[in-house]
Chain A
């Protein structure tokens, strides 16, 4: 068993790693009686790979023998790569063994589509069902909902899993038809809408003891950035509507890594757009935790995020009329909008200012990034006229400011003086 399992792990996890979702949060399932494992509400990271991403779940494909031929995907039919498929017993034993040794928080199971979507989905559901019922497993299960699978199977997935996801991959239906001729937007949104509706239905009213724990950690999705021509505005608009209508918990962005030589895609030598991906995540955070709406971050006149400064700073520089803000009197929502002040600091400020005035010295001790925040905070020791916000000036200062931990040490100043 050992040799073949090792090989399968290596092939099927290498094929699954491009799925960025790794979180194990949002579910607080308690340990089943005579079972093992529970859900930790905040999620737990069990290790980190050298690319800096966390490993929380055993992220693996059930099979990589795909019948589709999507341009961006490493598992597409026309690629000549090694193919492998688990059997259910083998996979569940692996999950339980790793879980009992505290290597993982649970299972993230996806699969290439083999035979047909229903056939594939049935395998995924059976793995989850075995884990829950045969092994009394209470840990985290994240299942992929395969587009095109029947509603019955999608429903069962929702009953056994903590979280489901359907990947949009390409953020517009036109590009999707171009890059992935076997897929369409309708088939992708169908399971997503179905799950969102059922979750809403089960959470209505007071739960009885027969109400199932349907997808306690909700749904997520993923979009590839930089493989097709969508602007950041399109991407944020789409994710904003996914948060509102489909009630998604997260939208993940994955900077396109050229894996296939395909004339429909950027050349294979292009580096992944990591900065753009980072800026998109920052914008996503603004929408989820900072009460920004997508049209405050971007609009038709500037549809792309500035790669040099973060989107919150971008908003502040476009709205100099709001600043400087007095942190001792401003609303919590407005304090959140000061660049360099995060949710945690904003809460501390609001609860601390009831007892004493909060000064700049306080802020430094609280952990506020004063190098960014200082331009936007009202300082009672300076006259108002000296505190006007000049966006061009601030932007120049920020971009020119030397970064910490620069590897290169300059000897020039000492030579000159």
Chain B
């Protein structure tokens, strides 16, 4: 899911960077003082999650946890994921530094999408609905990020449909695992720390 250096064309890089700057500005504006610990925790979880790999046929895919970040952090996912991705790029060379804007934009946009669409379900008192909200966030977080990666690759010359298919197929196990994981995390948080989700 991390796009490397030299793959994307300049307009795509600039477009991605613009979205990231705008999203980060909104995120920083919305952050309250008491949100800081959870941003640190989720940013670190995101940073580590990319090291957890699931072999899929000839390639392997890794956990992303952007859906989880989205449902808990909302717009603050932008700065949180930006920080995580920046450190992944400089410490592990995951994704190019010039592609940092695009990588943040793809993962954080889908995180914010999960926040806008599934947060309502997480607030409900019904446990099943809570699990479903978590599952959908985890699942859609990866799915939408995959589509956005395919879109940015297609804007730089690759053909959209086959690339999108390939990325989505490779990430199906990740989507399911992240869905289940995020579902349980939401249930767990709902029980021990419900205010994190409100």
Q: Do A and B bind each other?
A: no
A interface residues (Cβ-Cβ under 8 A, vs B): none
B residues adjacent to A (C-beta < 8 A): none
